[in-house]
Chain A
Amino acid sequence: MNNKIENDSPQIFSGIVVAATLAPLLGFYPLMITHHVSRLSKYWDKFIWSYGQWIPGSVGSGALGSTGSYAGKESLALIVWLGSWAVFHYLWRKQDLSLQSWLPIFSGGLLLVTLGFVHPVIDPVILLLRDLLE
Chain B
Amino acid sequence: MTTTFLIRTQVALALFVLLWLGGFDFFFPNTFHIEAGVHGLSTISALVIGTFLTHRAYHLMRGVHINFESLRYWTSAATVFNLLGAISGNWVYMRYRGEGGAKDWILSHVPTFHNVMMEFKEFISLFPFALMLTVTFVLFYYGNAIATRRDILNFVGILMLLSWLFLLFGFVAGLTLAKLHTL
Contacts and interface: CB of A to CB of B under 8 A. Distances in A.
Chain A facing B: main interface SS: helix
A68 B97 contact: yes
Contacts of A5: 144-145, 147-148
Interface residues of B, number: 42
Given A12-B149, A119-B120, A70 B93 contact: yes
A5 B90 CA distance: 44
Contacts of A81: 130
Contacts of A71: 90
Contact of B131 (A24, A31, A63): A24
Given A12-B145, A24-B131, A64-B95, A117 B162 contact: no
A127 interface: no
Given A9-B145, A99-B151, A31 B123 contact: yes
A6 B119 CA distance: 47
Assign chain A's interface to a size class: 35 or more
Contacts, number: 109
A28 B127 contact: yes
B99 A61 contact: yes
A35 B119 contact: yes
A120 B99 contact: no
Interface in A1-59: 2, 5-6, 9-10, 12, 14, 16-17, 20-21, 23-24, 27-28, 31-32, 35, 55, 57
A108 to B, nearest CB: 13
Interface string A100-134: 10110000001000100111100000000000000
Interface stretch (B9-17, B37-45, B153-161): B153-161
Given A12-B152, A63-B98, A67-B97, 14 more contacts: A5-B148, A21-B134, A21-B159, A32-B123, A63-B101, A65-B94, A66-B97, A70-B93, A71-B90, A73-B123, A99-B154, A119-B115, A119-B120, A120-B116
